[in-house]
Structure 1
Amino acid sequence: MSRRVLLRVLSILLILAVTGAASLYWLARRAEPVYSGTLALPGLTSPVRVGFGPHAVPTIAADTLRDLLFAQGYIVASERLWQMDTLRRLAGGRLAEVFGADALPADRFFRTVGLAHEARRTLESLDASDRDLLAAYAAGVNAYRDEARARLPLEYRIAGFAPAPWEPEDSLVIGGYMAWTQSFNLRAELTFLRLAARIGSARARELFPTDEGIPAPEVAPELVRYLSANRPSRMDLTEEPSLDAAFQLPARFGLPIPGAASNAWGVTGSRTATGAAMLANDPHLAPSMPGIWYELELIAPELHLSGVTLPGVPLVLIGHNEHLAWGFTSAIADTQDLFVERATPDGRVERAGSDPEPILSRIERIPVKDAEPVELAVRRTSHGVIVNGILGDATDSPMDLPGLDTADLLALRQNNDLPDLSFAAIHRLARSRTLSEAREASTGFRQVALNLMLAHRDGGIAWQVTGLLPKRGKGSGAFPSPGWLPEYAWRGFVPQRLNPAQTDPSGGALITANNRTIPADYPVAVSRAWMAPYRAQRIAELLAGSPPLTPASMADIQRDRASLQARLMQQSLRRIEMELRAVDARAWEIASDSLLDWNGVMDGDSPSAALFILLEPALFEALYGDELGEDLAALMEMAMVAYNPLQETLRSGQSSFWDDIRTPRVETPAEIWARAILAATADLKARSGVSGQAPLERIRTLTFPHAFDKLPVLGPWFSVGPIGVGGGTDTVDVMKATPLKPEQALFAPSMRMVATPADWTQTRGTLPLGQSGHRFSPYRTDQLDDWLAGDSHPWPWNGPVDGNVVGQLLLMPLD
């Protein structure tokens, strides 16, 4: 080919590339919403005024509550329709309909769990007034969908489909999915079965401590005997459909995944500089592009709210009205039990003392793009849905449900006997005028157990655990129960008035950070597997040492990166100093130089923090790898959602796993520590190159994945990151990773808020990215720098802050 022809070809290709990029840019910008002017919309009954302030945060004011929620649906959809659409499809098991057979595992998973079925049942149970509000919100979403039919978000043009009409139950299925992400015990019970199959029930029990110094409850003796006689093997999935998609699709689509990490604390006026109460909240969720929350202010007669909403769900989930502020953290409550069902030859399940019980079944028909629909039989017993078909091997996803190769059926019992009324609870909470009204409103949260944290303008604060807590027969619920014995069945639910709660504590502060919030002998069973208490302990430590608190000092606590687990590790090393020196001088030198003189702060520029995050998985491997083998991954995954045996060993120095059973001699703790220190050091050197050292922010990164994250070219273009970050799994400023992938931050603050009830104009917050999901919007990532630095901006109250208006939009009824 001549040089002239080659240049001509290259020129043509360049022109095509530039033209294609320009076309994509034009299509993307065309889909963005307008922030000024007048729009006439069918479905409105009166004008709605929308003022966009800094960061394009809207204040929506309407003459009726129905028109307000219509406008909320319209405005939020104009920025987040793709996110809303993919989230309802994921939760409802409808991804394969538009993405094809690759999404079938996820659809099978959520059809089995039955979130869409529950949403339809809930809708029928709501009062007519609440159903009308959901319908108004849906009408607003559809008004945007219809108006933007020719200028849909760029993702729809790339994926090749258009959004279906929004239905009221779509908002409820999204709420149901968020409740599912706050339920954890199923995974723990499955992991226990997997580990018990390898090392026996007694040894496996040691790996599930309840909290500091509190061992796991006893395993049902009938189950111990049964497992001893019928020990299942670890699951072999070589001939089963891969479940990776089921476990990884939510994260791939930039959607929230199961995980627990949130902080909230309230202080009364006795602890503040102004004598007024304050509330801080930073719920921790998986990073995504766009982020999970959307900021707004809502104004209508008898309703005034400011805060963040979950796109797809009306009203405000975290925020405040004129009287009080509220936030949430996960209560880590055990509302799921696994029952081992012994099948009979004729396809029923055994029941001691009575005839076998038939297995009920319903057929789910799953549409698949470019293929025939797939039918799924969802089976259940009186103990719940059979989950065998949605189990699998560890995929280092927080959604993993470890499986077993067993002829027995595994039934999941959940607290979903009664329809959930979470939307009614949100509505009542939004209208609450007192702390007692707000606590009473929370009884509508039946299927999601949360810590509701409250602060009132009169100076009072309160804490209330929501959700229906099981009233069990025999057994603790921490481990699977023998389904064939009726004495282990649930006996209903604890009356919600008995759920743990507190108002105006004598110390002037209430703290929840996924920790054990009740005494070990509390009469109501909430959980047997809390998260580590380190974040709550650190918050209490900072509050106790602080001068009278201000909004700025509350925000400073949210930015704190001191690791109490690092302190425990240092204490554990000092306990064995003499032994470690004798066993391996080099390991001791590394520990002394890089760890023991370190202040334990997980700053991004800290090389010691980098070594620390690699030491955790090295200790898991050195301590448990010989006995657990490939099942170690399942235990390490559990470290994300519960106080784990390594943490208890760091605290106490005690473990029955110190010895390496692969060698003829009995190893000491110092020898295991030496192995781990040397392995972590080698790992750090491999990751950091010639220097052998690197700061934490070069080892651990944070990415906000878009739905197209895994696609070549498009992935980096739509996703945000990777970004080197500080913080740790147990620090107040959380940057949470699984020990299997210490380099990847899986959970981070999804928003931050400090609420000031005495003067709402002083309430501040921030999102990780921004308001918009549109690729080229200036409001897509405009809050990222502030979020990384721990800074924030005022939330609107009675309109955009300081009159700083991006635009004024008037929504008019269409005559």
Structure 2
Amino acid sequence: MNGINAYLATKPSLPLEFQLLGFFPEPWTPADVMVWAKMMAFGLTRNRKTELKRYHLLAKGLSRERIAQLMPLSPENGPALFSLMPKRMLSFEKRVSVESPEKTRPNDANRKSAEALLAMMKRLPTLAGASNNWVLGGSRTLSGKPLLANDPHLLLGIPSTWHLMHLEGPDENVIGATLPGLPSIIIGHNNHIAWGITNVAADVEDLYVLQESDDGKGYLYQNQVKPYQIRTETIHVKGEPPVALTVRETVYGPVISDVVEDIPDAAPLALRWIGHHPFDTTLDAYFTLNKAQNWTEFKAAMKRYVVPSQNFVYADVKGNIGYFASGLLPIRKPGHSGLYPMPGNGEWDWQGFIPFEELPEMFNPEQDYIFTANQNIAPSDYPYTISLEWTGYYRSTRIEHKIRNQEKHSIADMITMQLDTISLLHKDFVPVLQKLTPTSVRGQQWRERLLTWDGNMSLNSQEATVFHSWYVGLSGLTKPETGEEYWIDYPSYFLTAMQNGDVACEALKMTCLEYATQVLEQTLARWDDKIPAWGQLHQATFKHPLLTHTPLAFFSDRKIPFAGDMFTINKAIYDPENFRMIHGASYRQVIDLAKLDNSRYIHPMGQSGQLLSPHYDDLLPLWQKGEYLPNKTKDYPVADRLVLEPLMSDSNI
């Protein structure tokens, strides 16, 4: 911190963005690091959005049963993380969260409020993507020691989310990926242990519908009127008067519906989020983690972890592997599933948090491998509900298949897995494709091509282009009910509809298979005879937050062809409007516990955010081609060296 401020005190020539804005940065403070860590944690939680979607659909007149069809919960047939669980975790009565049917339907004003909030959320960048990590024990590797892989998928942008760093001190020697300004490594290894993270996808958010007092100064809570705690946030706008934002705080958290236009008769919505917990020691957890030398010390670091809840996979140089679900996870009353906003009257408050000793964990499992890809990490007998909205069924299935399909693995095998672009979504839709009855010769030919295709979303694949254009077209089926142009996040809804029929198809006076056939014909007509390869459409896009809105975007922004889709191990989430890839692997690492200096890592763009720097985008072609940098703590070239020394007080001078 003092080094940054000492540099700013020299009045240096600032990067182009500052010059264009006519802005000189304020002194750096510890709060700057903590706030950015909080923003990342907030971006990695998403239950508020799905709760709001269900609330909006309910207000539109859809039944809870229909909403459950349109927004199905995670499938039960995905690979389980835990084949064996410690018996101590199975001795509790299962807490079943079933949504109570007695709740009243939101009124039309609430529908408009939810609609406005959802529209606002769409305008904000979504950090959460998905991630993979896995660790193999020595019995499954060529070296006889563990291999650990991790590739967190986040929003692509400029500068890169991560910064590659080797941090060396008197009692630590750690390397990996960190956030700029943070004096510890988030993902990586030291001389003794290695770790990787993925999002647990835990439900650590709840929306509460408030019953406001007649004078609007408070809300009904536990049969009493509780006054809002009001504060004013002042936002300074260059060249304009400051904007004063009034924030109303409740026992749950801020009233988030206040950020949209006031709608008479709309009930206020307050957000409770674990990130508002007053004692967040997550940064302390990382400081401790960086110095840990074994499983016991690793778990001691996890005890200080609060948010965002992460799946940590672990390995050490002695050959041990492990898993721990970190974070503070709320306990809800039976009847509160976390899927819908609940009355904010005190009846549905959280009942505490899952005790640390009862969080899911695993150490040296019999199968000698562990993997996570945002899938359900809780066994069926687990006494608490961590979440009902998991992802990663396709990726986790593919990862486990790749691990089990080979007896011994090398670093090269780990890299091949991270770059895998076989999409199991295609495999699931093969039975649907088999039943399509296109009338055109071209439609019949393409149906056969899609049936014989292996589902590889490679750069040169025309099949990938046709398949995803067709899949996106299918999502138009839900628009009359949801109001959403695209509904691509729920493939199991479309699979069920195509196989069993659905009221949305009946409303169109056709069967769902007839609808799917029609969409295939329309897809082919869209492309005429010039169907582009997947890489021509599907390009990883990196936009500068400021320069992309200026003529300088030509120089600042980057786009590069990329394989994969949102369901491949090498995950690549696209904008359904144009297939532009917006989320992907923000960092990749493969750690070799047999010889740590054999490890590899990479991230997209470069180490510098300065447009004219040679390191602005020098890592991008390596990342795109699946190449890596050596992950070494010694014997690497050094262009510049920065030595930090403790600040001495006057009494020590």
Q: Scaled by the length of structure 1, what TM-score is found?
A: 0.73
TM-superposed deviation, 1:527 = 0.6
> What's the counterpart of residue 17 of structure 2?
155
- Kept in 2: contact 1:213–1:648 (CA 8 A): no
Secondary structure in 2 aligned to 1:516? Answer: coil
Q: Which runs of 5+ in 1 are unaligned?
A: 1-137, 252-256, 393-402
Match of 1:784 among 620, 633, 640: 620
- Kept in 1: contact 2:207–2:340 (CA 8 A): yes
> What's the counterpart of residue 396 of structure 1?
none
Q: 2-side partners of 1:519 and 1:678: how far apart? A: 43
- Kept in 2: contact 1:175–1:313 (CA 8 A): no
- Percent identity between the aligned chains? 28
Question: CA 1:813/1:301 → structure 2, altered by over 3 Å: closer, same or farther?
Answer: closer
> What's the counterpart of residue 513 of structure 2?
670
Match of 2:48 among 160, 164, 186: 186
Q: 2-side partners of 1:793 and 1:680: how far apart? A: 41
Q: 1-side partners of 2:217 and 2:34: how far apart? A: 34
> What's the counterpart of residue 337 of structure 1?
206
Per-residue CA deviations over 1:478-524 (Å, capped at 9, x if unaligned) read: 32243255332211211122111111111111001111122344212
Q: 2-side partners of 1:557 and 1:214: how far apart? A: 22
> What's the counterpart of residue 772 of structure 1?
608
Residue pairs, 1:374-385, within 5 angstroms = 374-385=243-254
TM-superposed deviation, 1:656 = 6.3
TM-superposed deviation, 1:626 = 3.3
Q: Which amino acid aligns with 1:669?
A: C
Q: Which amino acid aligns with 1:220?
A: S
Q: Which has the larger radius of gyration?
A: 1
TM-superposed deviation, 1:468 = 0.9
Match of 1:438 among 288, 298, 306: 298
Per-residue CA deviations over 1:39-83 (Å, capped at 9, x if unaligned) read: xxxxxxxxxxxxxxxxxxxxxxxxxxxxxxxxxxxxxxxxxxxxx
Per-residue CA deviations over 1:569-623 (Å, capped at 9, x if unaligned) read: 113323xx2xx33x7465861552331111100001000001122122211113x
TM-superposed deviation, 1:449 = 0.8
Question: CA 1:747/1:352 → structure 2, altered by over 3 Å: closer, same or farther?
Answer: closer
- Kept in 2: contact 1:343–1:349 (CA 8 A): yes
Q: Which amino acid aligns with 2:56?
A: R
Residue pairs, 1:266-665, within 5 angstroms = 266-347=135-216, 351=220, 354-390=223-259, 407-415=266-274, 416-574=276-434, 577=435, 580-581=436-437, 584=439, 589-622=444-477, 624-628=478-482, 630-633=483-486, 635-636=487-488, 639=489, 644=490, 646-650=491-495, 653=498, 657-660=502-505, 662-663=507-508, 665=509
> What's the counterpart of residue 141 of structure 1?
4
Secondary structure in 2 aligned to 1:444? Answer: coil
Question: CA 1:222/1:656 → structure 2, altered by over 3 Å: closer, same or farther?
Answer: farther
Q: 2-side partners of 1:242 and 1:619: how far apart? A: 22
Q: Which amino acid aligns with 1:676?
A: V
Question: CA 1:405/1:549 → structure 2, altered by over 3 Å: closer, same or farther?
Answer: farther
Q: Matched residue pairs, number?
A: 629
Question: CA 1:587/1:385 → structure 2, altered by over 3 Å: closer, same or farther?
Answer: farther
- Kept in 2: contact 1:349–1:484 (CA 8 A): no
Q: Which amino acid aligns with 1:519?
A: P
Question: CA 1:671/1:350 → structure 2, altered by over 3 Å: closer, same or farther?
Answer: same
Q: Which amino acid aligns with 1:445?
A: Y
Question: CA 1:173/1:353 → structure 2, altered by over 3 Å: closer, same or farther?
Answer: closer
> What's the counterpart of residue 697 of structure 1?
535
Secondary structure in 1 aligned to 2:429? Answer: helix
Match of 1:717 among 543, 546, 555: 555
Q: Which amino acid aligns with 2:534?
A: L
TM-superposed deviation, 1:197 = 1.9
TM-superposed deviation, 1:649 = 3.9
- Kept in 1: contact 2:110–2:266 (CA 8 A): no
Q: Which amino acid aligns with 1:670?
A: L
Task: Return the structure number with greater helix share.
Answer: 1
Q: 2-side partners of 1:156 and 1:713: how far apart? A: 16
Secondary structure in 2 aligned to 1:682? Answer: helix
Per-residue CA deviations over 1:636-681 (Å, capped at 9, x if unaligned) read: 5xx2xxxx2x324426855663543544x4x222112112212332
With 762-771 and 354-363 compared, the bigger mean Cα shift is at: 354-363
TM-superposed deviation, 1:236 = 7.7
Question: CA 1:712/1:417 → structure 2, altered by over 3 Å: closer, same or farther?
Answer: closer
Q: Which runs of 5+ in 2 are unaligned?
A: 79-95, 648-652
Q: Which amino acid aligns with 2:613?
A: S
Question: CA 1:350/1:386 → structure 2, altered by over 3 Å: closer, same or farther?
Answer: closer
Q: 1-side partners of 2:537 and 2:474: how far apart? A: 18
> What's the counterpart of residue 171 of structure 1?
33
Per-residue CA deviations over 1:126-159 (Å, capped at 9, x if unaligned) read: xxxxxxxxxxxx1122123223x23212221122
Secondary structure in 1 aligned to 2:362? Answer: strand
Secondary structure in 1 aligned to 2:505? Answer: coil
Per-residue CA deviations over 1:77-97 (Å, capped at 9, x if unaligned) read: xxxxxxxxxxxxxxxxxxxxx
TM-superposed deviation, 1:365 = 2.0
Q: Which amino acid aligns with 1:625?
A: K
Q: Which amino acid aligns with 2:546?
A: F
Question: CA 1:165/1:655 → structure 2, altered by over 3 Å: closer, same or farther?
Answer: farther
Question: CA 1:404/1:470 → structure 2, altered by over 3 Å: closer, same or farther?
Answer: farther
Question: CA 1:435/1:653 → structure 2, altered by over 3 Å: closer, same or farther?
Answer: farther
Question: CA 1:590/1:531 → structure 2, altered by over 3 Å: closer, same or farther?
Answer: farther
Q: Scaled by the length of structure 2, what TM-score is found?
A: 0.90
> What's the counterpart of residue 25 of structure 1?
none
Secondary structure in 1 aligned to 2:408? Answer: coil
Quick check: 1:746 aligned with 2:582? yes
TM-superposed deviation, 1:805 = 4.2
- Kept in 1: contact 2:73–2:389 (CA 8 A): yes
Per-residue CA deviations over 1:139-185 (Å, capped at 9, x if unaligned) read: 122123223x2321222112211111000111111111111111110
Q: Which amino acid aligns with 2:554?
A: P
Q: 2-side partners of 1:554 and 1:655: how far apart? A: 39
RMSD: 2.9
> What's the counterpart of residue 564 of structure 2?
727
Question: CA 1:273/1:409 → structure 2, altered by over 3 Å: closer, same or farther?
Answer: same
Q: 1-side partners of 2:69 and 2:541: how far apart? A: 35
Secondary structure in 1 aligned to 2:548? Answer: coil
Q: Which amino acid aligns with 1:713?
A: P
Q: 1-side partners of 2:590 and 2:381: how far apart? A: 33
TM-superposed deviation, 1:214 = 8.3
Q: 2-side partners of 1:660 and 1:548: how far apart? A: 49
Secondary structure in 1 aligned to 2:247? Answer: strand
